């Protein structure tokens, strides 16, 4: 017995009903009449039970299929009239079995014949002796037309169907099972094919066979459509390169559509079809966010969409965009999860490349803005280093620039000491992921190092190293442009100097020589010897000016690197060129960093002392060491240099107080050479406080030890 409420929902099922159907009676609580009958018969179009309402009062008969055979259920639906229980309906059912054909109760047989299944009874010769109205209508004939016919004539002309029907009847007669089931195609009168399922069992006492059939055409077509759809779905998934999945949340089984194994480098079927198998593919760092997204989707029912990484067989990371949804069962519990994984690795890489390019472009524009003006390196380089460290957090470092001609390196440091920076420059960056050293090419032999060190334990990324390379290139370009601008300014100054010398000194000297020449031409023979001497002095002065200009030009154009240069041979060679001049020198074995132009220092200092000191001037040269420096002193007993000229005598074209000939460029050349060698020069009195008792030139150069 079942009790339904007014909505057709089971309120109570007694144990006898459960025993009748061989199922626990609690299983029927909450089911509708329609669900119960559909569950029992496999059909969902019962005329005696509305899909969404209570059962209709009256009698009903239906077959019950079970593993032990087939039974006929007879039932009655009664509406309860008690006002205290309005709208209740009671269904009572009993099993009446399969009635014997001969002597079967007329009422039970009548109810059986009106069942909505296809029912045929075959005699022992296999002829139809009975067919119900429903079956006759299904095949398109009258009951009389089908009576006495061979049922094989109602099959489609197909060996498979004929074999299936033949085995159905044979196995039923031989009682190979209490109930025999087969499925085959039938042919209706209008020549339409229909798929049917049949159950056969012996009945009666004369070898009759009861066949109960069910129209499976719609279901079979649906199954074929599903199979075709699934195959198309699989082909589409494989062609698109995306991977569709179906997860059974109760069993953990996963079905993939698409070549997931081959895509990740495995043999077909190597990846377990389970949640654990899927989890083994995911980058472990991404699992927490995936689980959180799934729980959020389960609770809110909002769309599930997340990006995460999977690892292929070779350890490479691939990006997936996962979109899916949970399917819930009728109890509201998660049942399945269906979705699609789209490979977005190329998109992620392209987006990352664009992002990196924009970042680099922005950084490049910032560096160009800092370095495109005419500000000196002392201002620009620290600003560039600051911008680089700001762009790459947790770094410290700086630049060591080695200028041409062997001068001491220029050092700019940020967040680190200059000595530490030099120490880093001597280390090996290749083996240290927390450090990077990049070369700076400033052109014309000028080179440098851009050095950065991570303050944290996070190594430099490839993106950061690329930005460092950009900075190195831009710094090199700026420095080369800065040095070219400086050299252009010096070249302009040299041009101005050379024009001034040509238009002033040489023209003045030529004018004097021409004046004396005209006097001689006019016949003043009395003073001829004096005039000739003066003309010769002018020519010598012009030659000296040309030599000094050539030296200056050579000094500007030379790009030789400084080398170890012993001082003693240079000094002694200059002394030999000054025979008859008293020069005191005891010799030395020190070596300085210079080039072959260093002899010009002694040539000009000795020549300047002789020229301005007058007859009887004595010159003394001493060389001493002071740590890493070499101190050279050149003193003379001449007329000295007044205090007001000491600060200016090294300037270009600044002459001393004497009227002796000379280009006025000698001390200027000395000054430039000392600067070239990274040294310094000081002018003092030979006797302190007595400028008129001789001059003292003190030159400091970089020493590199003693000669071998």
Per-residue pLDDT tens for 392-435? 888 888 888 766 554 567 787 887 777 877 777 777 666 778 88
Mean pLDDT confidence for 451-469: 86
Measured in degrees and rounded to the nearest 5, phi and psi for residue 690 equal -130, 85
Q: Report the pLDDT value the prediction gives residue 391, as an integer from 0 to 100.
A: 87
Residue 128 belongs to domain with CATH number: 3.30.450.20
Q: Whose structure tokens read 């699609």?
A: 340
Q: Is residue 235 predicted with pLDDT exceeding 70?
A: no
Q: Report the pLDDT value the prediction gives residue 680, as an integer from 0 to 100.
A: 92
Pairing of strands 304-311, 317-328: antiparallel
- Arithmetic mean of pLDDT over the chain: 79
274 & 387 share domain = no
Lowest mean pLDDT among 30-39, 70-79, 173-182: 70-79
Q: What is the pLDDT of residues 81-119, one digit of tens each?
A: 655 555 677 777 776 554 444 443 444 444 444 445 788
Residue 337 near residue 249 (C-beta atoms within 8 A): yes
Sheet holding 446-454, edge to edge: 410-414, 395-402, 446-454, 435-443
Sheet holding 334-343, edge to edge: 254-257, 243-248, 334-343, 317-328, 304-311
Pairing of strands 435-443, 563-566: unpaired
568 & 656 share domain = yes
Mean pLDDT confidence for 525-533: 70
Rounded Cα distance, 135 and 428, in Å: 93
Q: Whose structure tokens read 């008129």?
A: 692
Residue that is last in its domain, among 555, 573, 606: 555
Q: Is there a domain that residue 113 lies in?
A: yes
- Residue 64: how many CB atoms within 10 A of its CB? 16
Q: Is residue 661 predicted with pLDDT exceeding 50?
A: no
Q: Is there a domain that residue 8 lies in?
A: yes
Rounded Cα distance, 164 and 180, in Å: 11
Separation of CA 153 from chain center: 71
Rounded Cα distance, 323 and 304, in Å: 6
Q: How far is CA 156 from CA 134, 153, 192, 352, 673, in A?
A: 20, 8, 9, 64, 115
Residue 348 near residue 369 (C-beta atoms within 8 A): no
579 & 697 share domain = yes
Q: Is residue 679 predicted with pLDDT exceeding 60?
A: yes
Residue 655 belongs to domain with CATH number: 3.30.565.10
Q: Is there a domain that residue 349 lies in?
A: no
Residue that is last in its domain, among 428, 443, 471: 471
269 & 316 share domain = yes
Q: What is the pLDDT of residues 578-634, one digit of tens each?
A: 878 899 999 999 999 988 888 888 888 888 888 887 778 899 999 999 888 999 999
Measured in degrees and rounded to the nearest 5, phi and psi for residue 575 equal -65, -40
Mean pLDDT confidence for 445-467: 84
Angle at which helix 599-613 crosses helix 666-676, to 10 degrees, equals 150
80 & 111 share domain = no
Residue 380 belongs to domain with CATH number: 3.30.450.40
389 & 506 share domain = no
Rounded Cα distance, 120 and 210, in Å: 6
Q: How far is CA 337 from CA 251, 281, 331, 402, in A?
A: 12, 18, 16, 66
Residue 411 near residue 441 (C-beta atoms within 8 A): no
Q: What is the pLDDT of residues 115-139, one digit of tens each?
A: 457 888 888 889 998 888 888 888 9
Q: Is there a domain that residue 483 lies in?
A: no
588 & 698 share domain = yes
Q: Is there a domain that residue 22 lies in?
A: yes
570 & 693 share domain = yes
Residue 128 near residue 121 (C-beta atoms within 8 A): yes
Q: Is there a domain that residue 102 lies in?
A: no
Mean pLDDT confidence for 152-166: 89
Separation of CA 302 from chain center: 30
Residue that is last in its domain, among 198, 215, 232: 215
Q: Is residue 461 predicted with pLDDT exceeding 90?
A: no
Q: How many domains does the chain have?
A: 6
pLDDT band at 681 (very low <50, low <70, confident <90, very high): very high
Q: Report the pLDDT value the prediction gives residue 111, as an integer from 0 to 100.
A: 45
519 & 609 share domain = no
Domain containing residue 192? 107-215
User: DSSP letter at 431?
Assistant: G
Mean pLDDT confidence for 493-509: 66
- Total number of residues shown for the chain: 708
Measured in degrees and rounded to the nearest 5, phi and psi for residue 133 equal -60, -40
Among 455, 428, 556, which residue's Cα sits nearest to residue 497? 556
Mean pLDDT confidence for 343-370: 89
Q: Is residue 662 predicted with pLDDT exceeding 70?
A: no
Q: What is the DSSP string of 585-634?
A: E----EEEEE-GGGHHHHHHHHHHHHHHH-TT--EEEEEEEETTEEEEEE
Q: Report the pLDDT value the prediction gives residue 588, as an integer from 0 to 100.
A: 92
Q: Is residue 226 predicted with pLDDT exceeding 60?
A: no
186 & 275 share domain = no
Separation of CA 434 from chain center: 20
Residue 531 belongs to domain with CATH number: 1.10.287
Q: Is there a domain that residue 479 lies in?
A: no
Q: Is there a domain that residue 482 lies in?
A: no
Enter the tokens of residue 156: 């489609």
651 & 675 share domain = yes
571 & 686 share domain = yes
């Amino acid at each position: 017995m079942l009790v339904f409420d007014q909505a057709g929902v089971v309120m109570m099922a007694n144990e006898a009903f459960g025993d009748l159907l061989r199922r626990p009676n609690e299983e029927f609580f909450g089911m509708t009449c329609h669900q119960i009958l559909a569950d029992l018969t496999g059909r969902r179009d019962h005329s005696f039970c509305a899909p969404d309402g209570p059962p209709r009062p009256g009698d009903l008969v239906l077959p019950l299929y079970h593993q032990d055979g087939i039974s006929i259920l007879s039932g009655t639906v009664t509406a309860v009239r008690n006002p205290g229980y309005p709208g209740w309906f009671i269904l009572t059912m009993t099993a009446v079995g399969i009635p014997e054909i001969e002597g079967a109760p007329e009422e039970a047989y009548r109810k059986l014949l009106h069942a909505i299944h296809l029912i045929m009874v075959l005699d022992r010769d296999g002829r139809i002796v009975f067919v119900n109205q429903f079956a006759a209508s299904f095949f398109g004939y009258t009951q009389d037309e089908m009576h006495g016919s061979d049922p094989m004539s109602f099959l489609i002309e197909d060996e498979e169907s004929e074999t299936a029907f033949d085995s159905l009847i044979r196995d039923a007669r031989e009682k190979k099972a209490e109930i025999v089931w087969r499925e085959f195609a039938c042919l209706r009168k209008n020549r339409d094919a229909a798929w049917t399922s049949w159950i056969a069992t012996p009945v009666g006492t004369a070898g009759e066979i009861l066949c109960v059939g069910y129209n499976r055409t719609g279901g079979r077509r649906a199954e074929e459509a599903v199979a075709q759809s699934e195959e198309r779905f699989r082909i589409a998934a494989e062609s698109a390169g995306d991977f569709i999945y179906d997860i059974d949340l109760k069993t953990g089984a996963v079905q993939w559509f698409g070549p997931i194994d081959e895509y990740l480098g495995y043999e077909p079927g190597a990846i377990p079809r389970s949640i654990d198998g899927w989890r083994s593919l995911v980058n472990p760092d991404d699992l927490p966010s995936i689980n959180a997204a799934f729980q959020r989707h389960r609770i809110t029912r909002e769309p599930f969409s997340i990006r995460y990484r999977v690892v292929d067989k070779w350890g490479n990371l691939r990006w997936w965009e996962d979109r899916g949804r949970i399917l819930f069962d009728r109890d509201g519990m998660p049942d399945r999860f269906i979705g699609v994984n789209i490979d977005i690795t190329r998109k992620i890489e392209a987006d990352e490349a664009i992002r990196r390019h924009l970042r680099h472009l922005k950084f490049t524009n910032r560096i160009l803005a800092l370095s495109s003006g005419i500000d000196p390196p002392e201002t620009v380089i620290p600003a560039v280093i600051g911008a680089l460290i700001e762009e790459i957090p947790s770094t410290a470092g700086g630049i060591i620039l080695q200028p041409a001609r062997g001068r001491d390196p220029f050092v700019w440091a940020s967040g680190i000491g200059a000595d530490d920076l030099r120490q880093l420059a001597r280390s090996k960056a290749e083996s240290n992921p927390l450090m990077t050293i990049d070369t700076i090419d400033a052109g014309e032999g000028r080179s440098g190092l851009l050095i950065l060190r991570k303050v944290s334990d996070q190594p430099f990324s490839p993106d950061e190293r690329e930005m460092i390379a950009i900075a190195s290139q831009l710094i090199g370009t700026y420095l080369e442009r800065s040095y070219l601008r400086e050299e252009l300014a010096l070249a302009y100054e040299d041009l101005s100097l050379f024009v001034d010398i040509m238009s002033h000194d040489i023209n003045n000297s030529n004018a004097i020589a021409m004046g004396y020449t005209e006097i001689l031409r006019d016949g003043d023979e009395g003073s001829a010897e004096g005039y000739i001497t003066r003309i010769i002095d002018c020519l010598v002065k012009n030659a000296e000016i040309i030599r000094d200009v050539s030296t200056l030009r050579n000094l500007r154009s030379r790009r030789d690197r400084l080398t170890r240069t012993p001082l003693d041979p240079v000094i002694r060679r200059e002394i030999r060129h000054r025979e008859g001049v008293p020069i005191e020198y005891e010799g030395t074995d020190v070596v300085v960093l210079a080039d072959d132009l260093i002899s010009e220092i002694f040539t000009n200092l000795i020549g300047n002392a002789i020229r301005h000191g007058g007859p009887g001037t004595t010159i003394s040269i001493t060389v001493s060491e002071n740590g890493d420096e070499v101190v050279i002193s050149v003193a003379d007993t001449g007329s000295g240099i007044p205090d007001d000229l000491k600060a200016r005598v090294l300037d270009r074209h600044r002459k001393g107080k004497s009227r002796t000939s000379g280009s006025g460029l000698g001390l200027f050349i000395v000054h430039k050479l000392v600067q070239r060698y990274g040294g310094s020069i000081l002018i003092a009195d030979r006797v302190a406080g007595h400028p008129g008792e001789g001059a003292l030139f003190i030159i400091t150069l970089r020493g590199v030890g003693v000669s071998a």
